[in-house]
Each structure stands twice: as C-alpha cells, then as structure tokens.
Chains A and B, each alone.
Chain A
C-alpha cells in the first residue's frame, strides 16, 4: 500500500435546509487502504460517503485519482454497498436476478444472458455465496444479504468500494465472515475500501486508516496515529472510551 491518494477531498461542506451537516473536510483516502469513517450518530459519516458517491450536493472538491495519480472524473469504477435496511427486499427476485440487473441489456422477462450468469457466479464464488444463487433475496439472513451486496458491487469490476455500515445489525459470525472476505478480496484485487462504521471493534481489526468525524474532521491517519485516547474521547465522549481503547492500542493493523 502506498500513500498516494485514491480520493482527495478539499473543504467538503454539506448544507441541507440551512443546516451545516459537514464543514470543511479536507482529507485523503490512500490507494489500497481500508479507510473507516467513524464518529458518533449524526456526525455526517453517511453524508460524506454520499458526497463521495455524488448523491448529494456539496461545496469544495472531491477528486478521484487513477493508478497513475492523474485526476479521474466520476463516474468511474466504483462499487457501492448501501445499508442493508435501505433495500426493498419484498419483491420476488432471486440473488441471480439481482446480480444481473445492470449486467444484461436483455430484459429479465426475456431470459438471462449466459455470459452475465457466468460473471455473477464467479463473483458469488468470491463471497462464498454461490449456494444462494437461486434464493429469493427476501429470504437471506443479514450476513448473507451483505455478502450478496458485496458480490453485486464487484460486478462492476471496481477499483474502489464504498460501504455504509456493512455489518450493522448482522450477527457476530456473519459480520466476521463478511469482514474476512472483504479483506481477502481487497488484497487480491488491490482495492481501495472506504467504509462507514460505528463499530470500533470492526474498525480496529480491519481498517488501516480512519477519518474521525463529528460534523468536521477531527483526526485522520493510520489507525494508530489517529485513534489516540484524546481523539476517541473527543469523538465519542469519555464513556465510550473505556471499552475500546485497550483493544485498539494492543492491536497491530495489517500493513501498519
């Protein structure tokens, strides 16, 4: 992993209905890093992610860089894994249908295209979900659904994946499996990963870098540089500090 940025943000400010949600965020996401955006509820974590995806208007600039370090305009090869609960899972649709939605021109009512099915199977294999291929999406457990969403984001052959609270509300084992798979895929494909998380144990185990937010950027850097006891107490308040600091300080993140 290098310190070349994959994403550079300069003075990113988001206002909605006259209220500032984020003010002047200047930071970068190193290429090949797993960067976690952390902060308390209402800190603007998801808003920053949405700004990076071009889903909300902001002032300032967000620039993506290609592998040669040249600015690349959006949209480029980006995978997005939205929050699990933001998905309508009530409609009759199998996992395979979901993965084919933006992979084949032919409407699904005229059948599936064989090359697209092969690509979908290959991505499901990577997230250990190929056995779920014909399962209705409404019948997947939280962890299974997140793995399917990861496969969906991989269908675009991304260089960068952005995830919003990927393991929130998922059972411990499912969350563990998801994070392990994400880490393997990230290393294999040299991906840059950005994830919003409020779970410090996930962050300490899997992230290499963090952006600590509370309506503005409070700290940024590698997990060890940025997550000092004073920052944690500033971000989460003194009560949150006690449970997490020990784990953070004794853990050596991969690549650190």
Chain B
C-alpha cells in the first residue's frame, strides 16, 4: 500500500527517475510527509526560541543508539535484536526522555535556559560517544554505518514500515495543530497572559517538547544530526518573512518546506550529492530570498 501511494505521488513530480527506482519513490513519499511536519513544528520552534533545544534532542541520538546496541547485545539472538527495532525504540524513548527532562529543568531552574540545554546536550553526546567508541573497538558496529545513518542521514534507505509509522505520526501532529495552534501562538506571545486565559501552559509545553523529540529523531534518518535543526528552523523563518497573517504563516511554511524537500531530492539524485545537505541548501536559498523581500518591504 505504501508503495502504491509512493507511485501515485511520483506521477505528480515531473522527474523520470522516480518511475524507475522504488527507493526514490519511497524517499519522495517520506519527504512529502516529513516536510509539513518539520515546517509546522518549526514555527513553534522559532516562536519559542527552541532551535538549540532541538539540537540537543538531536544529539541525544548518540546515547539512544548506544543504549539500543547494548540492549541488542543483551537480547542477542531474539527477533528484537536482529531487526534493529531495539535501536529505533531506544533512540525514540531516550530522545523523549531528554526533551522532557530539559523542559522540566528549563521551567524550574534559575540557570539561563541555554546553559541548561548546553549541559544536557554535551552530556548526552559524551555518554553516547563513550559507549559507541567502545562498541566500535569491540567490532560490534562499523564506524561508517554510524556516520552514514546519523551524521549525514539517508532518506534513500527509508523502508515501508518507517513510512507507515511516519504517516501515523503525521496524523497525530496535525491533530495537535488543529486543537492547539491558536493557544500555542498565545503562549508564545505572552505565556502569563495565556495562563490567565485558562490555557494549560505547562501541559502544552511538555506535550509539544515530546512531539518535537519524536519528530527530530524521525528527521535524523533523512537529513542527519548536523542538519536536523535547519529542517525545522529555516522554512519557518522564511515563512515569517513572507506571511502576513497567522493563518498564512502555517501554509506558507508548509509550501516552502515541501518545495525545498522535493527539489532537493531531485537535485541530489541528478548531481549525486547527499539528499539532506541538498535540501538544506535549497532552503537556505529560499531564506535569503525571503530576507531580501522583507528588506525591500521595509520589514
């Protein structure tokens, strides 16, 4: 069914290679699902100044992977260990845990928020690298796998099961935007005003940070740890320059993100470049254009 959808989508994009290679079609479907998610969640990331936060959650993937490998070793021989589900689940669970922990500390600590995030970010990377280094020495994992999958990402290896899960997550995030978009905007304008209006500010913050963590972990498979924040922030920042109303903001961000993701995929296939990096390069060009337009319009 997933491949059926992918083929339908491929017919909409005038690029012949989509019809020849199933992996390209799946990548197209994956990015078509991912682009609106990162664009719309990115709007709140920009509003709440959470780009450093999403970076830290991205870094948690190192520890998540390390824990996943350790679990696989413990459960060696079982289907759980063989299929790599242990690693997927461990990165997801650990990402959510880190996101909730940072949110809790940000809310309760007197330290500046970027300091709290900086400490978390460094500690999850260091712990993860320690364990991964040990596993590389032991010959359990190959260093190039880690680089390919997590640092640079690779949407071309996406499998139908990932796409099914991503489609489910797409529904959850869109439901969140349907219920909470207006309230999230009010909270980002002035959280205390929102609280006096009966908006459950803390609950929204925790829920949003958990959703964001899941999205970051999903996105790392496509664009890698290094570029995941860009995927969230750049379309949203560009949309702020183009849009005039809160409603437009949502759709413009989605449009820009979809355009960059699909054209990035096509260009990367045509020129044999990393897909993630090419997508972000297209996004950066769009951002520069939006900045120029904002400057001309006098902001």
Could you tell me which A residues sit within 8 Å of B by CB distance?
Answer: 17, 50, 53-55, 75, 78, 80, 82, 86-88, 90-94, 97-98, 100-102, 104, 107-112, 136, 138, 156
Contact = CB atoms under 8 A, between A and B. Distances in A.
A82 B178 CA distance: 27
Interface stretch (B56-64, B193-201, B211-219, B266-274): B193-201
Nearest to B242: A92
A97 B181 CA distance: 12
In this complex, the interface size class of chain B, counting residues with CB under 8 Å from chain A, is 20 to 34
Given A108-B181, A109-B247, A156-B197, A91 B188 contact: yes
B182 A86 contact: no
A100 B185 CA distance: 11
Contacts of B179: 107
B162 interface: no
Contacts of A87: 189-190
A119 B260 CA distance: 40
B199 A102 contact: yes
Interchain residue pairs A-B with the least CB separation, the first 6: A109-B250, A107-B181, A97-B246, A108-B247, A80-B196, A101-B186
Contact of B177 (A88, A97, A109): A109
B192 A53 contact: yes
Contacts of A90: 240
A94 B249 contact: no
A92 B249 contact: yes
A66 to B, nearest CB: 18
Contact of B195 (A55, A91, A104, A138): A55
Given A109-B181, A109-B246, 8 more contacts: A53-B196, A86-B190, A87-B189, A91-B240, A93-B185, A93-B245, A110-B247, A156-B197
A91 B196 contact: no
Nearest to B48: A88
26 contacts: A17-B110, A50-B192, A53-B192, A54-B196, A55-B195, A78-B196, A90-B240, A91-B189, A91-B240, A91-B249, A92-B244, A92-B249, A93-B245, A93-B246, A94-B244, A94-B245, A97-B247, A98-B189, A102-B194, A107-B179, A107-B182, A107-B250, A108-B185, A109-B181, A109-B247, A156-B197
Helix, strand, loop or mixed for chain A's interface?
loop
Nearest to B49: A88
A101 B182 contact: yes
Nearest to B250: A109
Nearest to A152: B193
Contacts of A80: 192-193, 196
B182 to A, nearest CB: 5
Nearest to A98: B189
A5 B9 CA distance: 66
A17 B243 CA distance: 43
Given A75-B196, A75-B198, A100-B182, A88 B247 contact: no
A102 B198 CA distance: 9
Contact of B244 (A101, A108, A136): A136
A6 B261 CA distance: 57
A82 B249 CA distance: 25
A98 to B, nearest CB: 7
Contacts of A107: 177-179, 181-182, 250
A97 B240 CA distance: 15
A108 B246 contact: yes
Taking each of B181, B240, B245, which has the highest tally of chain A beta carbons within 10 Å of its own beta carbon? B245
B182 A92 contact: no
B140 interface: no
Contacts of A97: 185, 245-247
A55 B192 contact: yes
B187 to A, nearest CB: 10
Interface string B244-270: 111111110000000000000000000
Contacts of B193: 80, 82
Contacts of A93: 185, 189, 245-246, 249
A82 B190 contact: yes
Given A109-B177, A156-B197, A101 B245 contact: no
A136 B190 CA distance: 17
B25 to A, nearest CB: 29
A102 B183 contact: yes
A92 B249 CA distance: 7
A167 to B, nearest CB: 18
Contacts of B183: 101-102
A158 B245 CA distance: 27
B47 interface: yes
A87 B250 CA distance: 21
A64 B60 CA distance: 47
B192 A102 contact: no
Given A107-B178, A107-B181, A109-B250, A88 B188 contact: yes
B66 to A, nearest CB: 38
Interface in B159-191: 177-179, 181-183, 185-186, 188-190
A101 B185 CA distance: 8
